[in-house]
Amino acid sequence: MLYNHSLSSSGLEIINFNCELLLINHTDIKKPQTSKLFQDQFPSLSIPDPIHWQLLGSPLHQESAPLHFKTKTKVLDSITENLELIEPHQVFFILKNCLSISKLTYLLRSAPCFKCKEELDAFDTAIRINTANTGKICNVTFGKDSCCWSQASLPIQHGGLGLRSATESDLSLPCFLSLSLACQGLVNRLLPSLTLPHA
């Protein structure tokens, strides 16, 4: 194999079963040809659907973001089932610092999640319901439009519990724009001909 031989001479080796081929801007006619070209060289190469494309846990395709959100919401629900088994202060600390908006910060910054309104609302709902269901932190029920939840989702310095909401506080768009702007200089140096959408 030409590629493997060239890489081996440089001291490098490609592990086939860890490799994925992402076919970007390919027509239906060219996809089989390109796939065969790479699979002849790397037999264990996988070709995922665009909806499953990701890099370092961040979706590469706009259609992938909702799937990532649903996964995080399911993980949140499965974890919070056991919160009643531990002390109230520990429950609050875990909800605030590990399971709420901090769980989404990387995803909000690296993908256009502001377009996933339903998924953001579902995650907020999971946080709201699980906070009320523990019965240890709050002695009130948080309705979707409840003023109690609006106050609880405020930062602690403003009288809230610090359980930030991705939808009510509208963090998704500022998070994405801040990282896009921070990366703009590096992107311009690597790809001078590329113009970022917000530039």
- Reported as a single tens digit per residue, the pLDDT across 45-100 is 777 777 788 888 888 877 788 888 888 888 888 877 777 777 777 877 887 888 77
Q: What mean pLDDT is predicted for residues 112-117?
A: 84
| SS3 label, residue 188 | helix
Band (pLDDT 50/70/90 cuts) for residue 186 is confident
In this structure, are residues 130 and 95 in contact, taking their beta carbons and an 8 Å threshold? yes
CB burial string 165-185: b at 16+ within 10 A, e below: bbbeeebbeebbeeebeeeee
In this structure, are residues 153 and 161 in contact, taking their beta carbons and an 8 Å threshold? yes
Residue 199 pLDDT: 40
Place of tokens 């592990």: 15
**How far apart (Å, rounded) are the C-alpha atoms in residues 95 and 49?**
34
**How far apart (Å, rounded) are the C-alpha atoms in residues 185 and 163?**
33
Q: What percent of the chain has pLDDT over 70?
A: 80
Residue 168 pLDDT: 59
**How far apart (Å, rounded) are the C-alpha atoms in residues 124 and 122?**
5
**How far apart (Å, rounded) are the C-alpha atoms in residues 26 and 32?**
10
pTM above 0.75, yes or no: no
Bridge partners of 58? 55
How many Å from the N-terminal Cα to the C-terminal Cα in the chain? 43
Bridge partners of 20? 46
Poorest-pLDDT segment among 14-28, 100-114, 116-130, 148-162? 14-28
Q: What angle do CA 81, 84, 85 make, to 5 degrees?
A: 100
58-59 and 54-55 as β-strands: parallel, antiparallel, unpaired? antiparallel
**How far apart (Å, rounded) are the C-alpha atoms in residues 38 and 42?**
6
